[in-house]
Amino acid sequence: MNSILLLSLLFVGISFLVSMRLKSKFTHYSHLPITNGMSGKEVAEQMLRDNGIYDVKIISVEGFLTDHYNPMNKTVNLSSEVYSGTSIASAAVAAHECGHAVQHATAYNWLMLRSRLVPFVQFSSSIVQWVLLAGIVLINTFPMLLLGGIILFALTTLFSVITLPVEFDASNRALAWLENKRVLVGKEQEGAKDALKWAAMTYVVAALASVATLIQYVLIFLNGSRNDD
């Protein structure tokens, strides 16, 4: 149990550092205007049109880095700063979220798989910590409870891992479109690539933390089973 706590603290620290670096990058690139003066909303509109997508709405939402694509109601939700901003960060984020809309429109395999997992992950996330805690406490009398918790946790880990290709692909689509349509030029394109790289790093850290924690729980279960024999 102590090893899991230490591992969790380690990844909390790493996640905090990556998050701070991401906020620093986006703040920096938010102050660098792009040459053509397009707002995030205009970038999103053009990328959707260029990909033949006309049934997705672009909405402004409150908050910082709250941007996301919602496949349930087909909306690209951009934070107010990105929605109306004309910076490198605004263009990069808007194009990235539209990258998810393109994935949805083309039935991108990894996105479809992640979407199918959502209801299962929502259920497992709501109870998994309690099942794991009870499983560890009762490891010597009821080891199968911990195994059940591990299976539930494995679902959330799988979701985190599947999220990686979805996010990287959305960024790749965004960067390719921004460059091909010359929405961004020269150092603007490099800045967008840098910003999206750090955004992706948050998902990488989350996936690694989940995998490492899953391994720790499996080891606890195996050790408990051996002690039981």
Active site (catalytic) residues? 97
Sign of the torsion angle spanned by Cα atoms 78, 80, 83, 87? negative
Helix (H, G, I), strand (E, B) or coil at 56: coil
**Tokens, residue 131:** 């099942």
Amino acid at 25: K
3-state secondary structure of 34: coil
3-state secondary structure of 2: helix
Give the per-residue SS3 of 87-124.
EHHHHHHHHHHHHHHHHHHCCCHHHHHHHHHHHHHHHH
Dihedral, CA atoms, 181, 186, 190, 193, nearest 10 degrees? 0
